[in-house]
Amino acid sequence: MIQRYTRAEMGALWADENRFRKWLDVELAVLEVLGREGVVPRDAARKIRAKARINVKRILKIEETTRHDVIAFTTSIAEQVGPVGRYFHYGLTSSDVVDTALALLLREALVVLRADLTKLDDALVRRALEFRELPCIGRTHGVHAEPTSFGLKFLGWVAEFRRQAKRLDSAIEQVSVGKLSGAVGSYGALSPSVERKALELLGLVPEDVATQVLPRDRHAEVFCVLAEIGASVERVAVELRHLQRTEVHEVEEEFGKGQKGSSAMPHKKNPISAENLTGCARLLRGYAVAALERTGLSSAARTRRGPRSAGSARSSWARAPFRSVSPARASIGCSTLRTISNTSIRSTDVCWEMGSRKLRKLARRFLEAEDGQATTEYVMLMAVLVGIIITLGKVFRDRMVSLVKGPVSNMLKQSFFRPGGVHKFPISLK
């Protein structure tokens, strides 16, 4: 967060201590439900709640060794609670805790902003009524047009921010969703019933279908709404900046006692508040783009970045490791997917062989050039390296096929096809 523009209330909400406290709330909610169902001792959650304290310095110190924030957090709690700590984090994966806690934080932050919009609405309505009979010149293209009412400006802002309030209400609903379905969302350790009951304790609802993480389109919606609210704020700020120009001078910002406008020109009263609002609104639009870029993370987090890519999932909003695609392209891509036994594994060999052929072809093209000898040697070296990688890829393919036919197949049968039927996801595909 940018400290200069951070209010104390919002800064405290996003501080490390509160973030870890939300993690603890998620962990304890799960333990509470597991205790009721007899999976862990009934008093496990109570004992941990009584002894556990958030020690940010200790967590960060442990993380220097573990290089994993959730493991550092669980280790810190286990150190404090004694033997009962063996049940802490039972059946959960890191993203269960991080993403569900993030939903709690986002909801809390958005509720604060919703209250601010109510206050803004009251202020704008009051001003609109105050200035409804005050005449002013209307402008189009910045040029004098026809007389209008100064209160009409405020009334337009009232209507716009009320539309934004409705969008924010929808965003709060969309983000109030959690996920406790375990690794890759398969309910391998906790059942949908435990997930639903634990999330009820937190005031959340379960995600319809989750993967390793909560779908990032929910977060993207939040940031798009925030960017829209920022755009509305900027509209007000730009108008007020214009009206404060010396040659217009229809309004003035409040200038506090001792406030200065310039180190060289003490007579100046700059529209600094309006300028700050404009700058912050532009930042919000940038964050919205980053959030949209992250929507592809939902299914790619643990496949395109390796088995332990949680770091990218919990990176700052300014990072966008994966590109999103248009709905049309996504539709085409999904319709052409193949899920037949070894197709996806063997496609790796095909890709590498195609790359090797292209490199050899490129080498021949350079040989025909007058001064391409040095470049050709480099390309041929690359072709040899690709050949080595092809060999390794075939070995990997064979090992993967045997793994899918053996232990993985048994694991899936034990996870999904238990006595009593298949785990049902809470979404209908009919």
Burial label, 99 (beta-carbon count in 10 A; 0-12, 13-18, 19+): buried
Is 141 one of the annotated active-site residues of the chain?
yes
pLDDT greater than 50 at residue 313: no
| Cβ-Cβ contacts under 8 Å for 191 (sequence gap 6 or more) | 423
The CA distances from residue 382 to 113, 222, 386, 388, 409, in Å, are: 55, 45, 6, 10, 37
Query: What's the rounded Cα separation, in Å, for the pair 319 and 290?
Result: 6
**Are 135 and 150 a contacting pair, CB within 8 Å?**
yes
Pick from 117, 126, 122, 119: nearest CA to 165: 117
Give the per-residue pLDDT at 261: 86
Which of 76, 89, 95, 262 is labelled catalytic?
262
pLDDT greater than 50 at residue 315: no
Query: What's the rounded Cα separation, in Å, for the pair 390 and 395?
Result: 9
User: Which of the pair, 368 or 62, is modelled with greater confidence?
Assistant: 62
Q: Which segment of 45-54, 173-182, 326-335 scores lowest on mean pLDDT?
A: 326-335
Give the per-residue pLDDT at 254: 85
| For the chain, domain boundaries | 3-87, 94-254+267-300, 343-422
* Mean pLDDT over each residue of the chain, to the nearest integer: 80
Give the per-residue pLDDT at 241: 93
Asked whether the whole model's pTM tops 0.75, one would answer no
Task: Tell the CATH topology of 3-87.
Answer: Fumarase C; Chain B, domain 1 (1.10.275)
pLDDT digits (tens, 9 = 90+) for 285-303: 999 999 998 887 655 444 3
Is 347 one of the annotated active-site residues of the chain?
no
Question: What confidence tier does 267 reach under pLDDT thresholds 50, 70, 90?
Answer: confident
CATH 3.30.70.990 for domain 94-254+267-300:
no
Residue type at position 366: F
Residue that the structure tokens 């435990």 belong to: 194
Residue that the structure tokens 């110190």 belong to: 61
pLDDT digits (tens, 9 = 90+) for 55-78: 999 999 999 999 999 999 999 999
Three-class SS of the chain: CCHHHCCHHHHHHCCHHHHHHHHHHHHHHHHHHHHHCCCCCCCHHHHHHHHCCCCHHHHHHHHHHHCCHHHHHHHHHHHHHHHHHHHCCCCCCHHHHHHHHHHHHHHHHHHHHHHHHHHHHHHHHHHHHHCCCCEEEEEECCEEEEEEEHHHHHHHHHHHHHHHHHHHHHHHHHHCEECCCCHHHCCCCCCHHHHHHHHHHHCCEECCCCCCCCCCHHHHHHHHHHHHHHHHHHHHHHHHHHHCCCCCCCCCCCCCCCCCCCCCCCCCCCCHHHHHHHHHHHHHHHHHHHHHHHHHHHHHCCCCCCCCCHHHHCCCCCCCCCCCCCHHHHHHHHHCCCCCCCHHHHHHHHHHHHHHHHHHHHHHHHHHCCCCHHHHHHHHHHHHHHHHHHHHHHHHHHHHHHHHHCHHHHHHHHHHEECCEECCCCCCCC
pLDDT digits (tens, 9 = 90+) for 143-175: 999 999 999 999 999 999 999 999 999 999 999
pLDDT digits (tens, 9 = 90+) for 166-201: 999 999 999 999 999 999 999 999 999 999 999 999
pLDDT greater than 50 at residue 96: yes
Which of 68, 89, 95, 141 is labelled catalytic?
141
